[in-house]
Amino acid sequence: MDPQNSLSQVDTIIFDFDGTLFKGETFSLPIFQECLTILIDEFHYNLDFPSEAKILAQFGRHSNDIYRTLLQNAKPDIIESFAECIENAEVKTLENGGGELYEGVPEVLTELRKRNYKLALCTNARKDYLEAVTKRFQLTNYFSVMYAAGQHNWKSKDWMISQIIKNLRTENFAVVGDRHHDIDAAKVNRGLSIGCAYGYGFGEVKKADLVINDFRELLKLFP
């Protein structure tokens, strides 16, 4: 695949959320740290407190996988309590106006729509999380279709993207994301992959067809 030639054919752009549009390090990271502290105190759970880097490296995965990894395969009741703490805190914080998008995200998405690109959102997040961020950032102003793994029995990104391209009736699409599953899902479905080096995938984005260091670079890629 020649990425430059493929860019000119793209009519649909599918975006990941955390680490692509949304700054998780200023939102979810402190919530995770607080809930871990509560868990250790309440359950007297013997846990090596994970570093910021280890927590950030989990962002973008399915929620249940994140919880199990950070809690080192704790008992189900402990994982359930931790999940409830995280989920309640995230939704409440969003309802109170917390969280922020990366610089330029609203302007870039608005401009891409003006340029007649179809835009979709595809995230490994929970259903309630997607609903909360949709309301907080008025995402329906930008996206024709939005999929969250929590809405679809935690299906893979491969599957969700296959459904999005069927829904939008396109074969010429790009996936923009910061983790390997974003890039892999694009390739499985024969699309173009654009890796976000500023997100949480670190070296994973090297596998992408193209890499951006700032969200606003998309306007140069899709003139």
- Minimal CA–CA distance to 13: which of 141, 112, 84? 112
pLDDT tens-digit profile of 113-157? 999 999 999 999 999 999 999 999 999 999 999 999 989 988 999
CB 58 within 8 A of CB 66: yes
pLDDT tens-digit profile of 150-195? 899 889 999 999 999 999 999 899 999 999 999 999 999 999 999 9
Strands across the sheet containing 210-212: 145-148, 118-123, 12-15, 173-177, 192-196, 210-212
The overall pTM is greater than 0.85:
yes
User: What does the alpha-carbon distance between residue 91 and residue 9 come to, in Å, rounded to a whole number?
Assistant: 38
Amino acid at residue number 214: D
Q: How confident is the model at residue 20 (pLDDT cuts 50, 70, 90)?
A: very high
Interstrand relation of 210-212 and 192-196 (parallel, antiparallel or unpaired): parallel
Q: Which superfamily, per CATH, for 3-23+100-221?
A: HAD superfamily/HAD-like (3.40.50.1000)
Provide the pLDDT for residue 43: 76
Sign of CA dihedral 117, 210, 183, 58: negative
Q: Which residue has the higher pLDDT, 78 or 186?
A: 186
User: What does the alpha-carbon distance between residue 4 and residue 21 come to, in Å, rounded to a whole number?
Assistant: 23
